Amino acid sequence: MYRHMNKLLFTIMLMLPFITYAETADQLVYQADQYRQSSDNLKVTSLIKLYKDGQLDKERIYDVYIKPDRKSLVISQSPSEKGQRVLMIDDKFWMLLPKTKRPIRITPMQKLLGEASTGDIASMRWSEDYSAEFIASHESSDRGYNELKLTAKRKGVTYSRIDLSLIPESNIPVQAKLYLISGKLAKIATFEMARIDGRQQVSKMTLKDKIQKNRYTEIEYIARASHSLSDKYYNPTYLARNPSLVIR
């Protein structure tokens, strides 16, 4: 019996550094999240520009209302699709099409196939959707970075795996390699920082498409404000209730 206990203790001691790193990795990701979403309840206005062969190909603007427990309400403000809304609660999704008053429950795949950028803007906290693993610390002449591997812990996330690079100590995100469920590298995201409301925050995220290599997307967070939305706005039936949503 003592031999078994010794074996068990030895195994636990061997695992301890990795367990510590796992906890630390999740904390690092949480700290990185604060540069994108600093408040639990947030309204973000995102301007998305899609470029093809260096030319502006498509432009969309969205208001995103984010709440804890993975609640996110994305409202399109572009004239061509004004009134379109996507409600995301955990792994459940609903869509309201313009000029209709009837929300439709949709599958995770339908959510991904909509404007693909919806997935890129609806969730701004990796720590809610991914579990993190510390991979390595890289030194370089100008600036080193810590490399983490993020694995999706929920359905319906756009990317099943992310290789995330963070500046040591500050944990400012530098780069994120975004992989599809097939394992294929889909995009590489880079982040621009700016001083907003007295603190460093991500002001723009650029996504270079690694599948369609002549394309890239810029997501500019043109407005951010703490904003707590009443729970009933996250009720699918209420999604259709107000034709022009005035949030109070």
Partner 1 sequence: MVVKEVGALLLSALFVVNSALAENSISFLINPQYNNYSSDTRFDLPDQVIKKPQATSQQIIELTGSYPNQLIDLTYLFSLHNQLSSNQSSETNVNTNELYLTKNWDDWEVTLGRRISSWGIGYGFRPLDVVQQYDQQTLARQSTIGKNMLALEQYSGMSSWSLLWVNPNQSDESENREIESIVSKYSTSQEAYDLHAVFRYNELNRFQLGLGGIHISSDQVAVHGSLLLSQRYQKQIHQLAGQSTVLLAERFPYETVDYHRGTQALIGINWSSSSKHNLIAEYWYDQQAYSRQQWRKLFELAKNQQNLLNQTAIPPTLIQGNIAWSAMATRAQALTQHNLMLRWSYDADHWKPSANILISAADKSSMITLSTTRSTHLFKFEAGIRLFNGTNDSVYGGLLVSNILFMTLSGEY
* Residues between 113 and 152 that touch partner 1 (CB under 8 A): 113-114
Q: Long-range contacts: 136-141, Cβ < 8 Å, 24+?
A: 137/168
Dist CA 152 CA 108 (whole Å)? 14
85 touches partner 1 by CB under 8 A: no
Dist CA 77 CA 88 (whole Å)? 18
Dist CA 63 CA 10 (whole Å)? 53
> In the complex, what is the shortest distance from the CB of residue 189 to partner 1, in angstroms, rounded to a whole number?
20
| Residue 154 · residue 131 · CB < 8 Å | no
Instruction: Kindly determine how many residues on this chain lie close enough to bind partner 1 according to the rule CB under 8 A.
Output: 41
* Residues between 59 and 78 that touch partner 1 (CB under 8 A): 59-60, 78
208 touches partner 1 by CB under 8 A: no
| Residue 46 · residue 221 · CB < 8 Å | yes
Burial environment of residue 247 by CB neighbours within 10 A (0 to 12, 13 to 18, 19 or more): middle
Output 4 or 102, the one with its CB closest to partner 1: 102
Three-class DSSP labels, 134-198: EEEEECCCCCCEEEEEEEECCCCCCCCEEEEEECCCCCCEEEEEEECCCCCEEEEEEEEEEEECC
> Of residues 45, 58, 131, 206, which one binds partner 1 by CB under 8 A?
58
> Of residues 44, 88, 106, 186, which one binds partner 1 by CB under 8 A?
106
Output 82 or 208, the one with its CB closest to partner 1: 82
Output 102 or 195, the one with its CB closest to partner 1: 102
Amino acid identity of residue 211, one-letter, is I
242 touches partner 1 by CB under 8 A: yes
Output 68 or 144, the one with its CB closest to partner 1: 68
| Residue 37 · residue 214 · CB < 8 Å | no
Output 112 or 188, the one with its CB closest to partner 1: 112
> Of residues 30, 45, 83, 200, which one binds partner 1 by CB under 8 A?
83
156 touches partner 1 by CB under 8 A: yes
State the residues that interact with partner 1 by CB under 8 A.
58-60, 78-83, 89, 92, 94, 98-102, 105-110, 112-114, 155-156, 231-232, 235-238, 240, 242-246, 248
